[in-house]
DNA sequence: TATTGTTATACTCTATAACTATA
DNA sequence: TATAGTTATAGAGTATAACAATA
């Protein structure tokens, strides 16, 4: 609830150094690295806030989404794909399973593996969550035209998956 | 130090479902939200690894960079700009000050404020660090042409700063 | 009274190692 | 022996509240 009063008055003219906007001209503010971090921060903050209505976060939403993808991912695959440790996946799947959104199923070809599939309730939850996330995303990307959003997504996709190959 | 052995052998052909690439086709993998998070993850992981040689991280590098910007930011401004809590800035500035890279200086116009300025050593450190970060960034963006990198940066900039206005 | 910086604290996230069951 | 999942734990990151100095 911080109300940063605008200072576009006489005092501002006397002290134009006050105001964060002046930092926009810093070198840092032009590094892709920094901008990506900040853009993600803007986006996921908003998404987390909105997803709270469904008792989800971006993390659990991601797992639920992949569970609902029809691709029958194993926990190991979720970990690799989401850049998370397998032990973190355990906790995320636990929470989703406890609320009846997903099920663990032993892979018939390798009984060590747990394949994660959604329940009917899980699919409904995902539908709601996906709408919320899309909405939050649109809001975060409000400054861009539809074409620019596609462009951004396409560029990010190439960067995000360029490193996927085993190191 | 996890050496994920490549599996491009007969076993891989027998189990084509193994392999994370199939998850590229999921809905999640096409959400800008997710892609931005992942792209940032790729970039900052690499940057953090490389900056370790200077005993810096992306966070402390950001503070050092702004300190060296000539814009004479206060701690409060650093907190707002970096989306960090003022108490976190304290710790970051403490560490940089302890190693002689930056100094706190009372703002003559408001003695409550600490203006963060670099020492000569801090400027040298920043020069080295900036080269490392730029290098890491280029590596992370390796899949993109120079023009595409500019495009990405420009788009990210608009998203990253769209939300800057007081909430 | 409000704000900057500080400290202390708790909570979340992340990383690591050890254990089990399967292979 | 190697891998998938699990558990426990420690460390880093993040958020909150209270306090001192200054405005």
Across the interface, of B27, B41, B141, the residue whose CB is closest to A32 is B141
CA distance linking residue B43 with residue B96, whole number of Å = 23
Confidence category of residue B163, pLDDT binned at 50, 70, 90? low
Task: Give residues 49 to 68 of B whose Cβ lies within 8 Å of A.
Answer: 58, 62, 65-66
Does B107 fall in a domain?
Answer: yes
A17 touches chain B (CB under 8 A): yes
Residue A17 resides in a domain: no
Which comes out higher in pLDDT, residue A163 or B126? Answer: B126
Angle between helices A58-67 and B32-51 (to 10 degrees): 120
User: Which pLDDT band holds residue A18 (cuts at 50, 70, 90)?
Assistant: low
Q: Is residue A97 part of a domain?
A: yes
> How many domains does chain B fold into?
1
Is the pLDDT score of B12 beyond 60? no
Q: B163 with A43: CB under 8 angstroms?
A: no
Strand B102-107 and strand B110-118: the pairing is: antiparallel
Question: Does the residue B164 lie in any domain?
Answer: no
Helices (H) and strands (E) in chain B, counts: 7, 2
CATH number of the domain where residue A131 is located: 1.10.10.10
Cα-based distances in Å from B76 to A164, B65, B80, B81, B82: 38, 16, 6, 9, 10
Could you tell me where the beta strands, DSSP code E, fall in B19-167?
102-107, 110-118
Asked whether residue B55 is domain-assigned, the answer is: yes
Query: Which tokens hold the place of A23?
Result: 């930092």
Q: Which nt has its C1' nearest the CA of A87? A: D6
* CA–CA gap between residue B87 and residue B92 (Å, rounded): 9
Give the gap in angstroms from C-alpha A135 to the nearest C-alpha of chain B.
11
**Using CB atoms, which residue from A3, A27, A141 is nearest to B65?**
A27
Q: Has residue B138 got a pLDDT over 80?
A: yes
pLDDT > 60? residue A61: yes
Q: Report pLDDT for A42.
A: 87
Phi, psi of B13, deg, nearest 5: -65, -35
- pLDDT at position A163, please? 58
Please report which confidence band the pLDDT of residue A110 belongs to, taking 50, 70 and 90 as the band edges. Answer: very high
For residue A86, being part of any structural domain is answered with yes
Tens digits of per-residue pLDDT, B32-53?
989 999 999 888 889 999 999 9
Does the pLDDT at position B149 exceed 90?
yes
Tell me if B32 and A137 make a contact (CB, 8 A cut-off).
yes
The nearest alpha carbon in chain B to A158 belongs to B143
Mean pLDDT of A61-80: 96
The CA distances from residue A155 to A93, A159, B90, B150, B153, in Å, are: 31, 7, 36, 11, 10
Nearest C-alpha neighbor of A61 from the set A131, A108, A5, A13: A131
Domain range spanning residue B57?
46-135
Query: Is B87 inside any structural domain?
Result: yes
Nearest to A19 by CA among B73, B111, B162, B84: B73
Give the mean model confidence (pLDDT) for residues A149-159. Answer: 96
Distance separating alpha carbons of residues B156 and B41, to the nearest angstrom: 15
Domain annotation covers residue B96: yes
The predicted-structure confidence for B13-26, as pLDDT tens digits, reads as follows 333 345 789 999 99
- Cα nearest neighbour of A75 on chain B: B20
Q: Is the minimum CB–CB distance between B25 and chain A shorter than 8 Å? A: yes
- Alpha carbons B166 and B164: distance in angstroms, whole number: 6
**What pLDDT sits at residue B19?**
78
């Amino acid at each position: 609830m911080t109300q940063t009063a605008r200072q576009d008055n006489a005092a501002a003219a006397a002290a134009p150094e006050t105001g964060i906007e002046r930092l926009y001209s810093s070198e840092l503010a032009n590094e892709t690295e920094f901008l990506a971090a900040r853009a993600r921060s803007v986006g996921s903050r908003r998404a987390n806030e909105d997803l709270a209505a469904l008792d989800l976060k971006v993390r659990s939403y991601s797992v639920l989404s992949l569970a609902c993808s029809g691709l029958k991912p194993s926990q190991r695959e979720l970990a690799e794909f989401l850049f998370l440790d397998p032990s973190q996946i355990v906790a995320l799947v636990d929470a989703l399973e406890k609320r009846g959104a997903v099920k663990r199923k032993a892979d018939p070809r390798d009984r060590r593996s747990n394949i994660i599939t959604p329940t009917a309730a899980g699919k409904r939850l995902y539908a709601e969550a996906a709408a919320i996330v899309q909405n939050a995303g649109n809001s975060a990307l409000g400054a861009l035209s539809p074409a620019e959003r596609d462009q951004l997504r396409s560029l990010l996709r190439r960067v995000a998956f360029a490193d996927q190959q085993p190191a």
